[in-house]
Amino acid sequence: MAKTSMTRRNLVKGATVAGVGAAAAMLAGCANDAAQTAAQAAVKPVILVTSFGTSYASSRHSTIGAIESAIRERFQPTYDVRRAFTSDTIIDILKERDGISIDNVDEAISRCIDDGVRTLVVQPTHLMEGYEYTDLADALEKVRDSFDDVVLGRPLLDTQEDLDAVADALTEELADYDDGSCALVLMGHGTESDANGVYAALQKTFDARGQHQFFVGTVEAEPTCDDVIRAVTEAGYTRAALSPLMVVAGDHATNDMADRNDPESWVSRFEAAGIETTCILAGLGQYAGIDSIYVDHVSAAIDSLKG
């Protein structure tokens, strides 16, 4: 009997120890889960500002950098503001030439996932809902399940309200050239997608406001440079100021628009048509009125989040 009692006591003791161990493990597991939840909660939501990019350092800081700074000023410290470029060519140039590493979109999204980010707001600096914008939307759709909330902000020229705001900003910024005898020519990039219609929409916006001194054209679509020269000439202007309708004043602005040594550049073609021409090498991102539109689009995107 004594042995039986001793054995029984040992079994009970063993069971008690095992129970304590299991309980301790459970508590440890709960503590780990709580710590993980707290760690995830501590990770800030991210605003990822995506741009095509530019290899022109000064323009990069004064345009893309200015847009990012305006967004950062409005939404930090609640949000972490990050950068991604969509052009792998630009990314490679910056890395090889300047030793600057910038994420492409996939890398930036993967970094957010690895960091435990649960809310992602992506704000492109694209002007319109063209091919690059739809590619970005597709990329986000593939990783939607990796986040609690994912939202894509709207491009610059999205609504009539945006068109009016852009017209206001450009009117203010180009006021020094608007002396009544100078045509104000805006050179956009252009696209084969249906989104190219925003250039005509912006032209109609200026015309509806009675600002017939503004002329909108594109490098790679319509209206063409020849179309704009014809319109400027028919309106009776013999002077023009050319300005890029692009976020950055990079390669297109420097070469396609302002290179006087290239007979095919816009400045050369305007002057060949007898129009005295001035070039303004400033991207849209340098204008505070434009930056504020992007900020408003981020705000609208945040307002649309499920939470």
Whether residues 48 and 97 fall in one domain:
yes
For residue range 227-245, what is the model confidence (pLDDT) as tens digits?
A: 999 999 999 999 999 999 9
For residue range 117-156, what is the model confidence (pLDDT) as tens digits?
A: 999 999 999 999 999 999 999 999 999 999 999 999 999 9
> Mean of the pLDDT values across residues 68-86?
98
Whether residues 164 and 274 fall in one domain:
yes
Closest to 118 (Cα-Cα) out of 149, 84, 75: 149
Is 187 domain-assigned? yes
Quote the number of domains for the chain. 2
Residue 188 has pLDDT above 80, yes or no: yes
For residue range 62-75, what is the model confidence (pLDDT) as tens digits?
A: 999 999 999 999 99
Whether residues 200 and 124 fall in one domain:
no
Is 33 domain-assigned? no
Q: 302 vs 2, 45, 71, 132, 256, CA distance in Å?
A: 74, 10, 12, 22, 37
Whether residues 189 and 275 fall in one domain:
yes
The parent domain of residue 222 ranges over 160-283
Is 27 domain-assigned? no
Closest to 280 (Cα-Cα) out of 140, 179, 184: 184
Whether residues 148 and 172 fall in one domain:
no
Whether residues 150 and 292 fall in one domain:
yes
Is 138 domain-assigned? yes
Residue 301 has pLDDT above 50, yes or no: yes
The residues annotated as belonging to the active site are 189
Helix or strand holding residue 243 (H, E): strand 239-244
Cα separation of 35 and 223, whole Å?
59
Whether residues 235 and 122 fall in one domain:
no
User: Quick one: pLDDT band at residue 179, thresholds 50, 70, 90?
Assistant: very high
- Length of the chain in terms of residues written: 307
Is 7 domain-assigned? no
Whether residues 204 and 58 fall in one domain:
no
For residue range 249-298, what is the model confidence (pLDDT) as tens digits?
A: 999 999 999 999 999 999 999 999 999 999 999 999 999 999 999 999 99
Alpha-helical regions (H) of 64-181:
65-75, 88-93, 105-114, 131-142, 160-173
